[in-house]
Structure 1
Amino acid sequence: MVIRLNEELMLNSHKTIDGRGANIHIAYGAQITAQFVHHIILHNLHIHHLSPGNGAMIRDSPSHYGLRTRSDGDGISIYGSSHIWIDHISMSACADGLIDAIMGSTAITISNCHMSNHDDVMLFGASDAYADDALMQVTVAFNHFGRGLVQRMPRCRWGFVHVVNNDYTHWRMYAVGGSQHPTVISQGNRYIAPHDGNAKEVTKRDYATDEVWRKWTWRSQGDLMMNGAYFVESGEEFVSGYARQDVMKARPGTFVTRLTRYAGALGCRIGLPC
C-alpha cells in the first residue's frame, strides 16, 4: 500500500498510526505533521520521497480547518507538541529533515528506526534565538543510521538529548552536532567512521566558539568507536539516572548489532507474531 498525501497530514492528540500487518509506504507526497498536539504514536511505516505541500484549506482538528501555507517537505514534523513516540519507521530521501522537532516540543522518543540516503537527518530546535526549546527532552534509542547519510543524527539546539544504543554505520560530515548549549549524553552507541575522507569526529560544534562550547555537557559513556571515530567531550561529568535499575539502562556499544537488528519497519503479518 502506497499512500500519497496531496497535502500534509495533520495529527490530532491521542492518535496512533500503526502499520503492523501491512506493508505501508507514505511516499511521493506531503509530510506528517504533529502541531500543538500530544500523545502520538507512529509505528511500522515506510516514509520516503516526501516533498513540500503546496498549501491548501486543511482540517487540523475535528472542529477547525484553515489555510495552510507551503509545508517544508520533512518526513515527520513535530511543532509545539509533546509525548511523541516514533518507533520502527524506515525513512529516507525527503526534501527537508527526516524528523524535525521544534517550537518547544518535548517528551519525544525515536526508537528502532532505520534511516538512510538523506542529508539533514534530524533537527531538534529550529532557532538559536528560541529559548523555549530549553525544555526539550528527546531520547534517540536503538536506531540504525545507515547508508547515504550526511549529518544531523541529530543536530540539537537547547534542551537535553539522550543518544543511546544506536548503530552509526555511515556519515559523511558528522553524526551528532549542536548549538546553543544543549546537553548531549551518548551512551552505548557504535560509531563507525567513514573509510574515506577525514570525517572521523562524531561531534560538531562549529556553530559556537571553543570558549563557549567547552562549557556544554556532552559526554560519551560506553560508546564503541571504530575506524578512527572519536567523540570530543565537554562540560562537567554527568551522573545519569539511567544507571538505576528501575529505568532504561544503556548497554555497552558492543551490544548494538543485536539491539538494532530489527530496526526499521517490521515484516509483520496479520495473525502471526510480530
Structure 2
Amino acid sequence: MKRIPVVLAAASLLAAAIVTAGGGGAQAATLFSDNFEDGNSSGWTTSGGTWAVAADGSQVLRQSGTSSDARARAGQATWTDYTVTAKLKPTAFSGSNRFAALLARAQSATSYYYVALRSNNTVELKKLVNGAATTLASTSLTVSAGTTYTVSLQVAGTTLRSTVNGGAALTATDGTFTAGGVGVATFYTAANFDDLSVETAAAPTTPPPTTSSPPPVPTDGPIGFASLNALGQNGVTGGAGGRTVTATNATDFLEYIDSTETLTIRVSGQINITSKQGVRPNKTIIGVGTSGHINGGGLDFYRSYNVIVRNLRFTNAEDDAVNVGQESHHIWIDHNSFSGAVDGSIDIVRGADYVTVSWNHFDHADKSMLISHSDGAASTDIGHLKVTIHHNFFDNSRQRHPRIRFGEPVHVFNNYFLNNELYGVASVQQAGAVVENNYFENVPFPCFSASGYADSGPGRLVHRGNTFVNSGTCEAAGSVVEPRTYYAYTMDSAASVPATVRAGAGYGKVS
C-alpha cells in the first residue's frame, strides 16, 4: 500500500517497542507514507494554491500556482519524534526569494517547523509560529527549478535536523512544538512532491559529562595575510631575535614601544595610558599570564610593520584600542580581549595591509572592527586592506564585525557571532569579503553587501558553510577574489565553532 493507516502505524510502534524491550536495538516504525500512485490525495488537507495529483514520470502531488503561499498537510497531531522525508521538485519561482518546503510537527496552516529550499540558493531550517517565521539555521545550496531534491527533517525532543540529498545537516535546538503532523508547502512557487514517508525517531539522550580538555589553540604563528611574504617582509616575526624586556608601568611601556630596537615587550600588570600611543616596527607586545592589561588608551600603528600584539586585555580606550593605519603592514593581533572602547576595538585603515586578527574576544563592544575609515578613502584603500579574521568571539557586540570599505579580499572564517544587535559583517563601498564556516546565533542581520549600509554604497560578499541559529541570512552579492589565491588554509566545521572559540579566544590562553 502506498499509504499506511494510523491503526497499522500504531501496531508498528508496538512491535518496535517489543523489539526494544527484548534487548535489541530500537527500530524505526513507519507512521505514514504516500507516493500518490493511486491518483488521489486523500488524507491531505490543503490551503492556498492549486493542488492536484499529476504525472511527472510517476504520480506526484503538484502545486501549480505561483501567486500565493500554499500548504498541504497530513498525519496526526499526536506524533512527536519522527523523521519525515520527501522528494521536492520546484518547477517555477515567481521571484528571487521564493521556496518549496517540507513541514514537521505541524499544528495548523500557520504553525510548524520546516526546511525551505529557496530560489536565492539557500536552504533554511525554520519555524513558523502563528504566521511569524524565524530562521533557526541555514546554509548555501544551489536551488534550481526543474531539479528534484530529497529532503529530510527530523524532530526528536528539542533537536531538529535536516538534510538535502544526504549532505551536511542543518541542526538547531527549539522546544516550541512538541508534536504534530507533516506537510509540504510553497511560497510563490510551483512544485511537485513525491515519496513522502514518516518514520519514528528516538529523542536524543543527554551525553555523559566529558572530562576531556578544551580543543587545542594554535599558537605557532599567524594564519592568512599576516603570514605572507610581501612588501619586503617575510611574514610576521615581531621581536624575535631582539631583547626581551618587561613593562610594569606606563613610563617603561611607552619607552619600549617607541624604541627603534627589535624587542619582545612583556606586559605585567595594569598599564594606564591615555589616547593612542605609537608602536614602531619589529615588536612583540605580549601579556604575562592573565596580568597583561592596557587601560584607558590604545596602540597606534603609523607606517609601522612586523608587530605582534598578543595576550592582552584592553579596557576603556578613549578612542580606538588598536589602530592599524597609514600604510602599516604585517600586523598580527591575536588572543586579546576588548571592552569599553569609546570608538573601535580594532581599526584597520588608510592603506594598511597584510593583517591577521585571530582568537580575540570582543566583550560587549560597541564598534568591534572597522576596515577603511571613510566612504571617501578609495584613493588610499583600493588594492590594500587585505585582512584575515578568524576564530574571534563577537560576544554581545553591537556592530562592525567587521564593517569593510574597499578592501579585498577580507576573509572572515570560523568566528562566533553571538547576540549582535545591529549586524555581523558589512561589505560596502566596493569591498570584497569571503564569509565562511562561521556560526551566527541571534544575529538579525548577519551580512550586508548589495544593499549597502547607512550612507555607504554596495559591496560584494560571498558566503558559504555558515550556520545561522535564530538569525537572518547573509546577503550575497557579486564575486570576490578567493583567499586561496594568496594562501592555503584549513577550517573547522561551523558546528564546532562555539565550543572551540569559547575555549580558545581572548587573553590568558597563550604563554
- TM superposition score normalised by structure 2: 0.44
* Contact kept in structure 1, 2:435 and 2:462, CA below 8 Å: yes
1:259 deviates by 3.1
* Contact kept in structure 1, 2:290 and 2:508, CA below 8 Å: no
Q: Give 3-state SS (helix, strand or coil) of 1:241's partner.
A: helix
Q: Tell me: CA distance 1:163–1:267, structure 2 relative to 1, closer, same or farther (3 Å).
A: closer
CA distance in 1, matches of 2:497, 2:481: 22
CA distance in 2, matches of 1:237, 1:87: 26
Q: Tell me: CA distance 1:74–1:252, structure 2 relative to 1, closer, same or farther (3 Å).
A: same
Segments of structure 1 that go 5 or more residues without pairing to the other structure are 52-72, 195-199, 269-273
1:237 deviates by 7.2
1:103 and 2:350 correspond:
yes
* Contact kept in structure 2, 1:178 and 1:207, CA below 8 Å: no
1:151 is aligned, of 369, 374, 399, to 399
Q: Which residue of 2 aligns with 1:94?
A: 341
Q: Which residue of 2 aligns with 1:248?
A: 489
1:16 and 2:284 correspond:
yes
Cα distance per residue 1:29-88 (max 9 Å; x no partner): 22211111101100000001111xxxxxxxxxxxxxxxxxxxxx1110111210000000
1:201 and 2:445 correspond:
yes
CA distance in 1, matches of 2:453, 2:390: 25
Letter in 1 for 2:496: F
Letter in 2 for 1:115: F
> What is the RMSD of the two structures over their aligned residues, measured on CA atoms?
2.1
What's the % identity of the aligned pairs?
26
Bigger relative contact order, structure 1 or 2, given CA contacts below 8 A and separation 6+? 1
Cα distance per residue 1:5-31 (max 9 Å; x no partner): 14532101011101143511111x222
Q: Tell me: CA distance 1:128–1:222, structure 2 relative to 1, closer, same or farther (3 Å).
A: same
**After superposition, where does 1:187-266 map in structure 2 within 5 Å?**
187-194=436-443, 200-204=444-448, 205-207=452-454, 213=458, 216-236=459-479, 241=484, 247-260=488-501, 261-266=503-508
Q: Tell me: CA distance 1:49–1:241, structure 2 relative to 1, closer, same or farther (3 Å).
A: same
Cα distance per residue 1:88-117 (max 9 Å; x no partner): 000011111000111100101000000012
Segments of structure 2 that go 5 or more residues without pairing to the other structure are 1-268
Deviating above 6 A after TM superposition, structure 1's stretches of 4 or more consecutive aligned residues are: none
1:238 deviates by 6.3
1:128 deviates by 1.5
Q: Give 3-state SS (helix, strand or coil) of 2:489's partner.
A: coil
Q: Which residue of 1 aligns with 2:297?
A: 30
Q: Kindly tell me the number of residue pairs found equivalent between the two proteins.
A: 235
CA distance in 2, matches of 1:251, 1:22: 27
1:84 and 2:328 correspond:
no
Q: Tell me: CA distance 1:5–1:222, structure 2 relative to 1, closer, same or farther (3 Å).
A: same
Higher CA-based Rg: 2
1:74 and 2:320 correspond:
yes
* Contact kept in structure 2, 1:44 and 1:265, CA below 8 Å: yes
Q: Tell me: CA distance 1:262–1:201, structure 2 relative to 1, closer, same or farther (3 Å).
A: same
1:4 is aligned, of 269, 272, 281, to 272
**After superposition, where does 1:130-209 map in structure 2 within 5 Å?**
130-131=377-378, 132-134=380-382, 135-147=384-396, 149-160=397-408, 161-194=410-443, 200-204=444-448, 205-207=452-454
CA distance in 1, matches of 2:479, 2:433: 12
Q: Tell me: CA distance 1:231–1:129, structure 2 relative to 1, closer, same or farther (3 Å).
A: same
